[in-house]
Structure 1
Amino acid sequence: MIQSRLVLAVSTFVASVATAGSLYFSLGLGLVPCELCWYQRILMYPLVVVLGVATLDGNSRVWRTGLPLSLLGMGIAAYHSYLQINPSIGATCGVGGGCASILYPMAGGLLTIPRLSLVGFVLVTACLLVLWRQPTWLEH
């Protein structure tokens, strides 16, 4: 069976990369986050600390704290990605322009910031689901 500390380390790494990436887009490239981007950040940033501490402690029960954050973030990122695919819905945000606008397309427009966020939340959620389904006698 998979070691819980390895799963925790992977989830911490994913959350850290997502956090660093979002900071690079705003601080490095000067992109202003829209309202939905802020909500995704609010849900991703604490995961770095929560999962990092759990990794150091070997606490595989962190899924109880992390899963609600990652599931909610995944839902917001999925909705944000949907808005970019269907801009005719006309959803607008008060901060940073329209939520349907694509500020920094990558890979020929296939990857956008909300889609990268969605990937991050899906990976963290998958790791936390592995921890949730893992029998307690395999925790250590």
Structure 2
Amino acid sequence: MTATINTDAPASRALTLLIAAWVLALSASLAVLFIGEILGQTPCHLCWFQRAFMFPLAVILGVAAWRSDVTVWIYAAPLAAMGGAVALYHWLLYAGIVPEPITPCTEKGPSCTDSAMQILGMPIPALSFLVFGLILLLLIQIRRKSS
């Protein structure tokens, strides 16, 4: 009886991580669309910038998962890092660490600083930073597993 070694295990693990990253990006994109389009809460400028990084991530990671392309980290990691940087700045504004008002949250709908703008007990800027960070960590793991 001979033992066989599964050499595809790292690739399979990388694909699983890629699907997890895609699910995070897709969930975040759908959540902000629900908040904006269904609940009618207009996002502030920083929320728009974060959307500009998250929406392409959902598409890029989805296509990469479909094609089993674990090299996508090369393109997706910079998007996640830049989106995470905007989210971190937004969170620091929200927390009052950066002494500048969040401008402009429009007159209709709550501001990012309102307690109504919390999901799972976390303010949206913090949640956005967490999701971008998780996606970036998954992409780093994909890189490690695929090399």
Shorter-chain TM-score bucket reads 0.7 to 0.9
Q: Could you tell me how far apart the structure 2 residues matched to 1:20 and 1:6 are?
A: 21
What is the letter of the counterpart of residue 112 of structure 1? Answer: P
Q: CA RMSD in A?
A: 2.2
Structure 1 residues 5 and 93: alpha-carbon distance in aligned structure 2, compared to 1, 3 A threshold: same
Q: Could you tell me how far apart the structure 2 residues matched to 1:32 and 1:133 are?
A: 39
Post-superposition shift, 1:115? 1.4
Query: After TM superposition, where is structure 1 displaced by more than 4 Å over at least 4 residues in a row?
Result: 97-100
Q: Could you tell me how far apart the structure 2 residues matched to 1:56 and 1:135 are?
A: 16
State the match for 1:65 in structure 2: 75
**5+ unaligned residues in a row in structure 2: which ranges?**
1-9
Single out whichever of 81-90 and 28-37 deviates more from structure 2. 81-90
Q: Could you tell me how far apart the structure 1 residues matched to 2:124 and 2:35 are?
A: 9
1:46 and 2:56 matched: yes
Q: Could you tell me how far apart the structure 2 residues matched to 1:8 and 1:45 are?
A: 16
Aligned pairs (5 A) from 1:35-114: 35-86=45-96, 89-94=99-104, 96=106, 101-102=113-114, 103-107=116-120, 110-114=121-125
TM value normalised by structure 2: 0.81
Contact 2:18–2:65 under 8 Å retained in 1: yes
Single out whichever of 59-68 and 93-102 deviates more from structure 2. 93-102
Please tell me whether Structure 1 or Structure 2 has the larger radius of gyration of its CA atoms: 2
Q: Could you tell me how far apart the structure 1 residues matched to 2:55 and 2:25 are?
A: 7
Q: Could you tell me how far apart the structure 2 residues matched to 1:75 and 1:88 are?
A: 14
State the match for 1:17 in structure 2: 27
TM value normalised by structure 1: 0.85
The count of corresponding residues between Structure 1 and Structure 2 is: 134
**5+ unaligned residues in a row in structure 1: which ranges?**
none
> Percent of counterpart pairs with the same letter?
28
